């Protein structure tokens, strides 16, 4: 259970970073 929750948090964090990175790259390209 705990591992599943941690994996979910990591997934959300990575997704957020990818969105932010993509947005920044898009703005400066």
Domain boundaries, the chain: 1-29
What does the alpha-carbon distance between residue 27 and residue 17 come to, in Å, rounded to a whole number? 15
State the pLDDT at residue 7: 94
What is the band of 29 on the pLDDT scale with cuts at 50, 70, 90?
confident
Once rounded to an integer, what is the mean pLDDT over residues 1-21? Answer: 93
Instruction: Report CA dihedral (15, 19, 24, 25) to the nearest 10 degrees.
Output: 90
Closest residue by Cα to residue 4 from 27, 18, 12, 21 = 12
Whether the per-residue pLDDT at 26 is higher than 80: the answer is: yes
In the chain, how long is the greatest CA-to-CA distance? 42
């Amino acid at each position: 259970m705990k591992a599943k929750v941690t994996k979910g948090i990591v997934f959300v964090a990575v997704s957020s970073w990818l969105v932010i990175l993509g947005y920044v790259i898009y703005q400066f390209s």
